[in-house]
Amino acid sequence: MPDALVFALEEPQDRRFMQAAIRYAMRHVGRTGTNPSVATLIVRDDGDGRWPRIVGRGVTALGGRPHAETVALAEAGELARGATAYVTLEPCAHHGRTPPCSEALVRAGVARVVSAAADPDPRVDGKGHRMLIEGGVAVTPGVLAAEAARTIDGYLTRHRRGRPGITMKMALSRDGKIGVRGGGQVKITGPVSNAQTHLVRARHGAIVVGAGTVLEDDPRLDCRLPGMADRSPARIILDPNLRISPQMTVAQTARAVPTMVAAFEDADPARRAELAAAGVAFVACVADPDSGRVALPELLEDLAATGFTSLLVEGGAEIAASFLSAGLVDRLILIEGAIEIGEAGVAAPVDIATARERYQLLRQDVFGGDRWFEFACEGA
> If contact means CB under 5 to 8 A according to the sort of partner, which of ligand AOF, Zn ion, none does residue 189 touch?
none
DSSP summary character for residue 198: H
Q: Are 313 and 321 in contact (CB under 8 A)?
A: no
DSSP code string of 129-147: HHHHHHTT-EEE--TTHHH
Nearer to ligand AOF, 35 or 167 (CB): 35
Of 77, 75, 71, 122, nearest in space to 101 by CA: 71
Q: Which is nearer to ligand AOF, 57 or 67 (CB)?
A: 67
Looking at the Cβ atoms of 136 and 307, the one nearer to ligand AOF is 307
* Cβ-contact 175, 351 below 8 angstroms: no
Task: Name which of 156 and 334 has its Cβ closer to ligand AOF.
Answer: 156
Q: Exposed (0-12), middle (13-18) or buried (19+): which is 98, by Cβ within 10 Å?
A: middle
Q: Which residue is at the shortest CB distance from ligand AOF? A: 96
- The least distance separating ligand AOF from the CB of residue 83, rounded to whole angstroms, comes to 17
Query: Which one of 67, 112, 177, 371 is in contact with Zn ion (CB under 5 A)?
Result: 67
How many Å apart are CA 119 and CA 125, to the nearest integer? 5
Q: Which of 18, 22, 38, 341 binds ligand AOF (CB under 6 A)?
A: 38
Tell me if 50 contacts ligand AOF by CB under 6 A: no
Instruction: Compare residues 67 and 271 and give the one whose CB is closer to Zn ion.
Output: 67
Binding residue count for ligand AOF, defined by CB under 6 A: 19
Active site residue 69: yes
Could you tell me if 43 and 34 are in contact, meaning their C-beta atoms sit under 8 angstroms apart?
no
Residues forming the annotated binding site for Zn(2+)? 67, 92, 101
The site map against ligand AOF for 82-121 (x = CB under 6 A) is: -------x-xx---xxx--x-----------------x-x
Chain Cα centroid distance, residue 362: 15
Q: Find how far residue 128's CA is from the centre of its chain.
A: 24
Binds 96: which of ligand AOF, Zn ion, none (CB < 5-8 Å by kind): ligand AOF
Give the 3-state secondary structure percentages of the chain, helix then strand then coil, rounded to 5.
Answer: 35, 25, 40
- Dist. CA 239–CA 261, nearest whole Å: 6
Q: Shortest distance, CB of residue 152 to ligand AOF, whole angstroms? A: 9
DSSP summary character for residue 324: H
> What is the C-alpha end-to-end distance of the chain, expressed in Å?
44
Q: Residue positions in the annotated binding site for NADP(+)? A: 171, 213, 217, 221, 316-322
Is 44 one of the binding residues for Zn ion (CB under 5 A)? Answer: no
CA distance 159 to 325: 23
Q: For strand 112-117 and strand 138-140, is the pairing parallel, antiparallel, or unpaired?
A: parallel
State the minimum distance, in angstroms, from the CB of residue 85 to ligand AOF.
Answer: 11
Question: Taking a C-beta distance cutoff of 8 angstroms, is the pair 68, 94 a contact?
Answer: no
- In the complex, the smallest distance separating the C-beta of residue 234 from ligand AOF, rounded to whole angstroms, is 20
- Kindly write out the interface string for residues 53-72 of this chain, putting x where it contacts ligand AOF by CB under 6 A and - elsewhere: -------x---xx-xxx---
**Residue 179 neighbours by CB under 8 Å, 6+ apart:** 185, 186, 188, 316, 317, 341, 345, 346
Amino acid, single-letter form, for residue 330: D
Q: Does 92 bind Zn ion (CB under 5 A)?
A: yes
CA angle 232, 234, 235 (to 5 degrees): 115
Q: Which does 174 bind (CB under 5 to 8 A by kind): ligand AOF, Zn ion, none?
A: none
Is 66 or 258 the residue whose CB approaches ligand AOF more closely? 66
CB of 364 to ligand AOF, least distance (A): 31
User: Among 10, 69, 265, 301, which one carries the catalytic annotation?
Assistant: 69
Residues 6-35 interacting with ligand AOF (rule: CB under 6 A): 35
Closest CA to 116 of 144, 94, 92, 79: 144
* Residues of this chain that bind ligand AOF (CB under 6 A): 35-36, 38, 60, 64-65, 67-69, 89, 91-92, 96-98, 101, 119, 121, 124
Active site residues: 69
Give residues in contact with Zn ion (CB under 5 A).
67, 92, 101
